[in-house]
Amino acid sequence: MKGIYLYGIVGFPPALTDEICGLGDAPVFLVSHGGLAALVGPSPLAPWPSDETHLTLHEAVVEKVMGSRPILPVRFNTLFRTGEAVIALLDKQSQSFRSALDRVAGKVELGLRVLWEAPRNAEALVDREAGEGGPGTEYLYRRLRDQRRQASRRAAGEQVAQKVQARFRSLAVENWMRRLATDRLLLSGAYLVERDRVDAFREGVAQAREEFSSLSFLLTGPWPPYHFVNGAHDETGDALGT
């Protein structure tokens, strides 16, 4: 049974000028309603495998359209039974989609990951001899030592992370950030950047590499604005499988 696969939401007009093929090598087209349009393609109603091949095809469609207009990407495997259901979505979420499109117009997302090694002096140790007071006391002090070590590492990491973040604040319109997600991952962030500021952001990363020589910086993108679409990923609650 055939259904409709949704890649993203855009403004309408104009119509697509380039031929685009998506999942299953099916043609991609627009379903328009009220000045908005859904970027869709025919698809089986069964979910596509969540592997690299199919995820890459989904992303390629979104990126192709992103080059010519703002787009709100939606999650992989967002499926509808009919075109009428897609139009109902555009009608129901019209206001939030328009607001999100205005928010990301002329902008792209850049991803930044920063790796670090905590300095040795960031490890807090308990000033007491191990084993004093018997096995139970030794266990408790070992736990306390580990807790203090983690707290000291986190405090040192937060201090470094704030300094790094300050370098990019003026280069982005908005940012989404996680700090110290793992012992090695100091920062994992997404930045909403004006298209004409992408090179300036890259230069900022190059300068940060020199300033923070003990850190490793990985910059990716430009990407569609996945982290800055006012929940457009979640505005498709009538879709199958969501």
CATH assignment at residue 212? 3.30.70
Give the residue from 194, 204, 23 showing the smallest Cα distance to 108: 194
Q: Is there a single domain that holds both residue 100 and residue 113? A: no
Q: Which residues contact 207 (CB under 8 A, 6 or more apart)?
A: 167
Distances (CA, A) of 70 to 50, 66, 76, 187, 224: 25, 6, 18, 27, 9
Count of domains forming the chain? 2
Structure confidence by residue, pLDDT tens digits, 107-124: 999 999 999 886 665 444
Structure confidence by residue, pLDDT tens digits, 130-152: 445 556 566 676 677 667 766 66
Structure confidence by residue, pLDDT tens digits, 189-201: 899 999 999 999 9
Q: Is there a single domain that holds both residue 53 and residue 127? A: no
- Counted residue by residue, the chain has a size of 242
Q: Of 82, 105, 128, at which residue does a domain stop?
A: 105
Q: The whole model's pTM is what? A: 0.75
Residues spanned by the domain of 217: 109-223
